[in-house]
Amino acid sequence: MISIKSQSPNLTSVPPTYTITKTPNDEAVTLDHIDPEVKIPIIDFSLLTSSNPDQRSKTIAELGRACEDWGFFMVINHCVPERLMSAVIDGCRGFFDLSEEEKLEFEGKHVLDPIRYGTSFNTSVEKVFYWRDFLKVIVNPHFQFPNKPSEFSEIAFEYCKKTREVVMGILEGISENLGLEANYIYKTLNLDSGVQVFAANLYPPCPQPELAMGLPPHSDHGLLTLLIQNGIGGLQIQHEGKWVNVNPNIPNALLVNTADHLEILSNRKYKSVVHRAIVNKIDTRISLAIANGPAFDAVVSPASKLVENHSPAYTGMKYRDYMELQQSSRLTGKLILDRLRL
User: At its nearest, how many Å lie between ligand AKG and the CB of residue 247?
Assistant: 12
Q: Between residue 198 and residue 227, which ones bind ligand AKG under the rule CB under 6 A?
A: 199, 201, 215, 220, 227
User: Among candidates 201, 182, 176, 202, which has minimal Cα distance to 289?
Assistant: 201
DSSP 306: G
Q: Which is nearer to Fe ion, 176 or 220 (CB)?
A: 220
Q: Between residue 220 and residue 239, which ones bind Fe ion under the rule CB under 5 A?
A: 220
Rule CB under 6 A: say whether 133 interacts with ligand AKG. Answer: no
Query: Residue 247: left if φ>0, alpha if ψ -120 to 50, beta else—which one?
Result: beta
* Piece in contact with Fe ion (CB under 5 A), picked from 13-21, 157-165, 169-177, 219-227: 219-227
User: At its nearest, how many Å lie between ligand AKG and the CB of residue 212?
Assistant: 14
Say if CB 164 and CB 198 are below 8 A apart: no
Query: Pick from 177, 272, 287, 292: which binds ligand AKG (CB under 6 A)?
Result: 287
201 binds, among Fe ion, ligand AKG, none (CB under 5 to 8 A by kind): ligand AKG
Task: Give the C-alpha separation, 5 to 144, whole Å.
Answer: 25
Q: Which is nearer to ligand AKG, 166 or 277 (CB)?
A: 277
Say if CB 125 and CB 329 are below 8 A apart: yes
Q: Which residue is nearest to Fe ion (CB)?
A: 220
User: At its nearest, how many Å lie between Fe ion and the CB of residue 136?
Assistant: 12
Residue type, position 107, single letter: E
Task: Give the C-alpha separation, 103 to 6, whole Å.
Answer: 12
Task: Give the C-alpha separation, 300 to 266, whole Å.
Answer: 11
Task: Give the C-alpha separation, 31 to 39, whole Å.
Answer: 7
User: At its nearest, how many Å lie between ligand AKG and the CB of residue 4?
Assistant: 14
Q: Which is nearer to ligand AKG, 170 or 199 (CB)?
A: 199
User: At its nearest, how many Å lie between Fe ion and the CB of residue 197?
Assistant: 11
User: At its nearest, how many Å lie between ligand AKG and the CB of residue 198?
Assistant: 10
Q: Which is nearer to ligand AKG, 229 or 266 (CB)?
A: 229
- Interface size with Fe ion, residues (CB under 5 A): 1
**For the chain, give me the number of helices (H) and strands (E)?**
11, 15
DSSP 253: P
Alpha helix (H) residue ranges in the chain: 4-7, 31-34, 45-48, 53-69, 82-96, 100-104, 152-177, 184-188, 260-265, 319-328, 335-339
Rule CB under 6 A: say whether 289 interacts with ligand AKG. Answer: yes
Rule CB under 5 A: say whether 260 interacts with Fe ion. Answer: no
User: At its nearest, how many Å lie between Fe ion and the CB of residue 225?
Assistant: 6
User: At its nearest, how many Å lie between ligand AKG and the CB of residue 116?
Assistant: 13
287 binds, among ligand AKG, Fe ion, none (CB under 5 to 8 A by kind): ligand AKG
If DSSP codes are grouped into helix, strand and coil, which group holds residue 304? helix
Task: Give the C-alpha separation, 300 to 212, whole Å.
Answer: 35
To the nearest 5 percent, what fractions of the chain are helix, strand and coil? 35, 25, 40
Query: Pick from 103, 261, 271, 275: which binds ligand AKG (CB under 6 A)?
Result: 275
91 binds, among Fe ion, ligand AKG, none (CB under 5 to 8 A by kind): none
- Return residues touching Fe ion (CB under 5 A): 220
- Return residues touching ligand AKG (CB under 6 A): 199, 201, 215, 220, 227, 234-235, 275, 277, 287, 289
